[in-house]
Chain A
Amino acid sequence: MYPAAFDYHAPKNVKEALGLLGKLKDDAKILAGGHSLIPMMKLRLAQPKHLIDLGKVPGLSGIKADGKALVIGAMTTHWEVESSSAVKSKLPVLAEVASVIGDPAVRNKGTIGGSLAHADPAADWPAAMIALGAEMVCEGPKGKRKVGVDQWFLGLMATALKEREILVQVRVPLLPAGSGAAYMKFPHPASRFAVVGACAALTLDKQGVCSKAGVGVTGAGTRAVRAKGVEAALVGKRLDAATIEAAAQKAADGVDVQADLQGSVEYKSHLCRVFAKRAITEAVRRAGA
């Protein structure tokens, strides 16, 4: 398959990339790892006249801990997250999420920023970013601004990223002591996209009572969402099996579940509840460990 013809630009820094974006406007698309955009271009679902490749811009990838958060450059590949010692020691759930994205070759090229800016409804990262309360750092002609994850996903492949901005960084807060987090997904058998994925990040106090809960659900609807009903049913409670079961029953509430070749609305709603329960159960186990 051949995409429609386009002009290719390889800026050397973010400023140059922003300049091109400002000049070319709607005719241009930013190219990160290309593992969402290029397949769409090959199917001619996307036909940008210009591609601005961030692949030659230094400083946009890498992971560092800054006190209370892990700061991940937008061009950091899924494999770099999966294999990072900083991630494994400080926020291992991110390595867990990365390790089940696509397949090893996809993880070598696909990037966390590309995925979050593309906002595929079946992507894995969104569930984790919601559960952990991440912030996206966007750079535009007037400088940088932060957008909280709850304001980020606006709809099907739509985010709060503005026309002339580039997503440059993702900041993921670390979890306090006594926390556990887990991601569980039902992968599509060929593409490995999440038919449904659920991420839970829970904090338990010394008495074993849940003091904070973050639960994100991806795959089932047109965008990933925060499972507010589940969170509310967890906070303030001891998380025994019956409490988890009751909370997980609310996992599809507020999700605009879409029927497709993978399943009916009823089936995918059921998967939301099942995978939320599995993620919460595992997060509780890890919090206690």
Chain B
Amino acid sequence: MKLPVKMTINGQKVSHEVEPRLLLVHYIREVVGLTGTHVGCDTSQCGACTILLGGQAVKACTMFAVQADGATILTIEGLAKNGELHPIQQGFWEKHGLQCGFCTPGMIMTAYQMLERYPKPTEDQIRHQLEGNLCRCTGYHNIVKAIEWAAEHMAGKK
């Protein structure tokens, strides 16, 4: 039994018929074709699949696409505007916040929500808020610095 779903992803309206058991992350990657959102552990622990659903960071591997019917979604592809990186993306660039890059989309989407909730985060806050995102390359240090860089630059722009 397939069900119709409609949602808005990065400002684009999409609609498809999907099996209820299709995970949101597979819908985004394989049906819609946005492969920036990654599948890492597939057990809700690593955070590589983090997206924003109605403004809230969620793990797209732990949701069915049918649950997101009618939702507004932001993925990593929706951050850069007119060829200009979002300050969080720029921060990861400036501070060498990635090595292999696999965790990066999830890290950036988690940071996006973090800086909305805590615009001037302390280092402890950043580390606590990153608990749901695993990185096996960087040791997190440069990721924390990248988010601090982004927080400073985003504060400057407001």
* Interchain CA distance A208-B45 in the complex, whole Å: 44
Of the listed stretches B60-68, B76-84, B85-93, B143-151, name the one at the interface; the rest are far from the partner chain.
B60-68
Nearest CB of A to B110, in Å: 7
Q: Say yes or no for A57: interface residue by CB 8 A criterion.
A: no
CB-based contact A39/B58 at 8 Å: no
8 Å CB contact of B131 from A8, A10, A104: A104
Number of A-B contacts (CB under 8 A): 78
Q: Say yes or no for B132: interface residue by CB 8 A criterion.
A: yes
CB-based contact A108/B63 at 8 Å: no
Nearest CB of B to A49, in Å: 11
- Taking CB atoms, residues of chain A closer than 8 Å to B103 are none
- Taking CB atoms, residues of chain B closer than 8 Å to A53 are 66-67
- Taking CB atoms, residues of chain A closer than 8 Å to B19 are 5
* Interchain CA distance A34-B62 in the complex, whole Å: 7
8 Å CB contact of B64 from A8, A103, A105, A190: A8
A46-62 interface bits toward B, Cβ cutoff 8 Å, 1 = contact, 0 = none:
00000101010000000
- Taking CB atoms, residues of chain A closer than 8 Å to B59 are 105-106, 109
* Interchain CA distance A102-B59 in the complex, whole Å: 12
- Taking CB atoms, residues of chain B closer than 8 Å to A6 are 20-21
Which residue of chain B has its CB nearest to the CB of A79? B56
* Interchain CA distance A108-B57 in the complex, whole Å: 7
- Taking CB atoms, residues of chain B closer than 8 Å to A8 are 3, 20, 64, 66
8 Å CB contact of B57 from A4, A55, A104: A104
CB-based contact B64/A104 at 8 Å: no
- Taking CB atoms, residues of chain B closer than 8 Å to A34 are 62-64, 67
Give chain B's interface residues, CB within 8 Å of chain A. 1, 3, 19-21, 23, 42-45, 47, 50, 56-59, 62-64, 66-67, 69, 110, 113-114, 129, 131-134
Identify 6 residue pairs between A and B in the complex whose beta-carbon atoms are under 8 Å apart, listed by A's number: A1-B42, A5-B21, A34-B62, A103-B132, A104-B131, A105-B59
